[in-house]
Structure 1
């Protein structure tokens, strides 16, 4: 599992929105969860199709990330990121859980994304600040 190379490939696919760039990241039967509680996109073909349908335009965003941890026993990587959409004046905190198959492609990808403008007050009641 080479998470650095995979992440660079993900950023390339995000910028290009090219089906080949996207498809090379995932196994044939991969699952892509755009939110952990929603049904996943199933299989490389659906992942590519759905990604392209909701593609971000190149240059509309910036993304920074770092690896939080790796579980070598399950070939799972945990990535924390930040996505900024300047035109929308929106910044998201991201947490990605990526389970890899042999060969370095993702078999499962789950993302959590939180709009920083809607931060909770931290007391556990689910209410926002302000």
Structure 2
């Protein structure tokens, strides 16, 4: 894995969040992937469970948000990225996350863990 491929994966994640349905998730996550929404939360395991979580967590593909990303580090199959998301226009919710992403050989995510932080909320678990 390299920074260019990680950056492309993050762009695909954002595009999938903005797209109706969940079909793109199969190209992004392995069938047995784990997705941890916070450092102390139990992981959501398996593509069907990730798909259900994805649908329940977003307001829909028309949700207004701005997302920026910076790949902080890549070491072998693991990457760390700093993500900032601002929801609404005007902005009514803001998050700064660290994502720890472990990739399978085919470039799909095998393990995803986010560390979300929001103003006035601190770290959320």
- The CA deviation at 1:11 is 0.8
- The CA deviation at 1:89 is 1.6
Give 5+ residue unaligned stretches, structure 1.
121-130
Q: Larger relative CO (CA 8 A, sep 6+): 1 or 2? A: 2
- Kindly indicate whether residue 18 of structure 2 is the aligned counterpart of residue 11 of structure 1: no
Name which one, 1 or 2, has greater alpha-carbon Rg: 1
Q: How many residues align?
A: 118
Q: TM-score, normalised by structure 2?
A: 0.86
Q: TM-score, normalised by structure 1?
A: 0.83
- Counterpart of 1:68 (choices 52, 67, 72) is 72
Cα RMSD for the two superposed structures: 1.7
Decide which moves more: 62-71 or 84-93.
84-93
The answer on whether the counterparts of 1:17 and 1:55 sit within 8 Å (CA) in structure 2 is no
The answer on whether the counterparts of 1:23 and 1:45 sit within 8 Å (CA) in structure 2 is no
Give 5+ residue unaligned stretches, structure 2.
none
C-alpha separation in 2, matches of 1:5 and 1:18? 20
